[in-house]
Amino acid sequence: MEASVSEDGLNPWFVTGLVEGEGCFSVSFSFRRRLKIGIETRPSFSISLHKRDLPLLQRLREFFGCGSVRYSRSDRTYKYEVRSVKDLVTKVLPHFEEYPLQGSKRDDFENFALICKKVRANLHMNRRHLREIIELAYQMNPSGKRRHKKEDLLKVLGEVVV
């Protein structure tokens, strides 16, 4: 499969390889009383690099045509991040469907893509679908940090009895 270099000079396979090593597909959940279902679902795609690679992060932003670059105090890196579900579904997912990940991050991406498509279709506002989204999200990034336990989220959905 031949890949043409984009206007910003990045080869799409290079982008996929960079994400395999330094990228993250994640889904965070927050309790929100104002929401009928009580839980906010936020998918996010990011790449964190040292300050010396800030120009590369800016080129990635141009490559995908969405997202933003910011400083992350928690790990003292710069982060390119896409949080818009529309941009995730229309710009980020298609890239990785055409230039697929080859390593362990592939499974996380598969779950992430399914979650993004469900959120884009507003299925996260339905208890049954939100439960599926939570289950998929908690299969991703097993060594990652989580703000909430899966059981606490399911409790809000009325699915876990204490």
- Provide the pLDDT confidence category of residue 162 given band limits of 50, 70 and 90: very low
Element (H, E) at 37: none
Please tell me the predicted confidence (pLDDT) of residue 3.
57
Q: Which residue has the tokens 């390119």?
A: 80
pTM for the complete prediction?
Answer: 0.88
Using the structure block, give the residue that is written with the tokens 């994640």.
26
Which pLDDT does position 90 carry in this prediction? 98
Q: How far apart are CA 31 and CA 153, in angstroms?
A: 8
Burial class of residue 134 (count of CB atoms within 10 Å of its CB; 0-12, 13-18, 19+): buried
Q: pLDDT digit string (tens) for 97-121?
A: 999 999 889 999 999 999 999 999 9
pLDDT digits 0-9 by tens, 8-46: 689 999 999 999 999 999 999 988 877 778 889 999 999
User: Measured between alpha carbons, how far is 69 from 135 in angstroms, rounded to an integer?
Assistant: 29
